Structure 1
Amino acid sequence: MDDVDQKLISALRHDARASLSDLAIGLGVSRTTVRARIERLRASGDIVGFTVVLRGDTARDPVRGLMMLGIEGRGTDRIIRQLGGLSAVRAIHTTNGRWDVIVEIGTPTLEDLDRVLAQIRRFDGIANSETSLLLNTWKSGS
């Protein structure tokens, strides 16, 4: 994948409905080149599909945060199961480094987020945690 492919993918991420002509002008290449590159990227599996983001998708969780968890002992699998049972948990990631698990949380209000955080902190085996509110999302993958 070369620089033009990277720029094309970036442009498609910004607006997947952009016309071939608009993409060509933005990239400084021909319309035919854009079409051929999109077809090649799809055929190779680099582009696996296109999606739509609805207003409701962004309004679903007005309050979002990342909770980083340090887990003592060998309780990670149990804690992941417990986290998976919480309706406010959007994603659970295991990781390396200082934190063992990173949890994406979405709630309607700050008060709801506070309740979920308190509930998770009470799980047996949580050694420590740190939470960051997500203020804005510039790019989100599916």
Structure 2
Amino acid sequence: MDDLDRRIIAALQHNARESTTKLAAKLGVARTTVHERITRLEDRGIIAGYTVVLRDPDEGNTVMVVVLLEVQQKETGRITKRLEAYPEIRQCLSINGEYDLMVSAEAPRIEDLDILVDEVGRIPGVQRTNTLVVFGRRIDRV
């Protein structure tokens, strides 16, 4: 992949329905170049498909936090299973560094997330947490 491929992918992530003619004009290349590049990216499996992203009706009415968790390594699987039970938790990532897991969670009120973080902190094997409140989404590629 080169810079043009990355720019095509970024444009498609923004609007996958945009015509190759419009993409080519935005990128300053020939329409056939864009078409051939997209076909090649699809054939190589880099572009695996296209989808529709629906707007969450509650979007804009929620508070989001990122919670960093330091956990006992041998308890990671069990802790992850417990985290799955919380509908507020949208994502749990295994990370390196000072913390072991990074959890993102959303709820209608900050008080709901305060309760969630307290409960997560009480899960056996969770040694400590660090919670960050998200002010806004600068880039959000779903």
Query: Normalised by the size of structure 2, how large is the TM-score?
Result: 0.89
| Aligned-pair CA distance for 1:72 | 3.5
Shift of the 5–73 alpha-carbon distance from structure 1 to 2, 3 Å rule, reads: closer
Q: Secondary structure at the match of 1:96?
A: coil
Instruction: Identify the residue that residue 125 of structure 2 maps to in structure 1.
Output: 125
Moved over 4 A (4+): none
Shift of the 61–130 alpha-carbon distance from structure 1 to 2, 3 Å rule, reads: farther
Instruction: Identify the residue that residue 49 of structure 2 maps to in structure 1.
Output: 49
Instruction: Identify the residue that residue 110 of structure 2 maps to in structure 1.
Output: 110
State the distance in 2 between where 1:3 and 1:86 align.
40
State the distance in 1 between where 2:99 and 2:74 align.
14
State the distance in 1 between where 2:129 and 2:106 align.
17
Identity of aligned residues (%): 36
Instruction: Identify the residue that residue 81 of structure 1 maps to in structure 2.
Output: 81
State the distance in 1 between where 2:48 and 2:36 align.
16
RMSD over equivalenced CA pairs, Å: 1.9
| Count of residues in correspondence between the two structures | 141
Q: Secondary structure at the match of 2:82?
A: helix
For structure 2, list consecutive stretches of 5 or more residues without a partner in the other structure: none
Contact 2:13 2:141 in 1 (8 A): no
Shift of the 92–121 alpha-carbon distance from structure 1 to 2, 3 Å rule, reads: same
Matched to 1:100, the amino acid is D
Q: Secondary structure at the match of 1:74?
A: helix
Contact 2:83 2:120 in 1 (8 A): yes
Instruction: Identify the residue that residue 26 of structure 1 maps to in structure 2.
Output: 26
Contact 1:61 1:106 in 2 (8 A): no
Matched to 2:101, the amino acid is V
State the distance in 1 between where 2:55 and 2:123 align.
34
| Aligned-pair CA distance for 1:126 | 1.7
| Aligned-pair CA distance for 1:60 | 8.0
Instruction: Identify the residue that residue 140 of structure 1 maps to in structure 2.
Output: 141
Matched to 1:90, the amino acid is R
Shift of the 61–127 alpha-carbon distance from structure 1 to 2, 3 Å rule, reads: farther
State the distance in 2 between where 1:54 and 1:61 align.
16
Q: Secondary structure at the match of 1:50?
A: coil
For structure 1, list consecutive stretches of 5 or more residues without a partner in the other structure: none
Q: Deviations over 1:29-58 (max 9, x none)?
A: 111111111111111101111222222177
Query: Normalised by the size of structure 1, how large is the TM-score?
Result: 0.89
